[in-house]
C-alpha cells in the first residue's frame, strides 16, 4: 500500500477504517525482517529503522520484562511521516520463555497488512 500524497487523508481516517493485522510468533531472540519499509513497503533506507519496545511486569510488579525490536524504515517515512511511523507497529502482548515450558510468544499489531503477511511468513507467525 502506498501513502503517496495521502498523508493527511490517512491520518484523518477514522480508526475503524484502517486495516490492522495481528501476528503471533514465537519469542525469538532475533527476527527475520522483510526488505521493505514497515510503514509503506518501499525499499528501506540505509541504516534506518524504527525501534519498537514492549514491557510488562510480573505478578508482584517488581520484575519487568522488556523486549525491543527494530523494523526497517524507508527514507521518506524516516524524514516526513513520523505520525504514521509512530503507530505502524505495536507489541500488543508477549510472554517470555518460562523455566519449564520454554515457549514464549509475541503478538504484533501492524498497520500495514502486506508487511504483516511477509513478516509472519518469515518468522513462522500466525494471524490472530
The span of 18-26, 41-49, 53-61, 84-92 binding Zn ion (CB under 5 A) equals 41-49
DSSP 52-77: EEEEEE-TTSS-EEEEEEEEE--HHH
Binding piece for Zn ion, criterion CB under 5 A, among 9-17, 22-30, 68-76, 89-97: 68-76
**In the complex, least distance from residue 108 CB atom to Zn ion, rounded to whole angstroms:** 17
- In eight-state DSSP terms, residue 45 is P
| Cell numbers at 120, concatenated | 509472519
The CB-of-88 to Zn ion minimum distance in angstroms stands at 9
106 near Zn ion, judged by CB under 5 A: no
Positive or negative CA dihedral for 114, 93, 74, 6?
Answer: positive
Q: From CA 73, how far away is CA 25, in angstroms rounded?
A: 21
Size of the site for Zn ion (CB under 5 A): 6
User: Is 33 an interacting residue with respect to Zn ion (CB under 5 A)?
Assistant: no
Interaction site with Zn ion (CB under 5 A): 37, 39-40, 42, 74, 77
Amino acid at each position: 500500500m502506498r501513502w503517496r500524497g495521502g498523508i493527511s487523508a490517512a491520518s484523518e481516517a477514522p480508526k475503524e477504517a484502517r486495516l490492522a493485522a495481528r501476528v503471533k510468533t514465537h519469542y525469538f531472540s532475533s527476527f527475520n525482517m522483510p526488505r521493505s519499509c514497515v510503514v509503506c513497503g518501499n525499499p528501506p533506507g540505509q541504516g534506518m529503522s524504527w525501534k519498537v519496545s514492549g514491557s510488562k511486569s510480573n505478578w508482584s510488579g517488581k520484575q519487568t520484562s522488556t523486549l525491543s525490536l527494530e523494523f526497517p524504515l524507508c527514507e521518506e517515512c524516516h524524514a516526513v511521516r513520523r505520525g504514521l511511523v509512530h503507530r505502524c507497529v505495536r507489541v500488543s502482548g508477549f510472554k517470555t520463555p518460562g523455566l519449564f515450558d520454554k515457549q514464549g510468544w509475541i503478538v504484533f499489531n501492524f498497520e500495514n497488512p502486506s508487511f504483516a503477511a511477509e513478516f509472519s511468513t518469515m518468522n513462522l507467525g500466525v494471524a490472530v
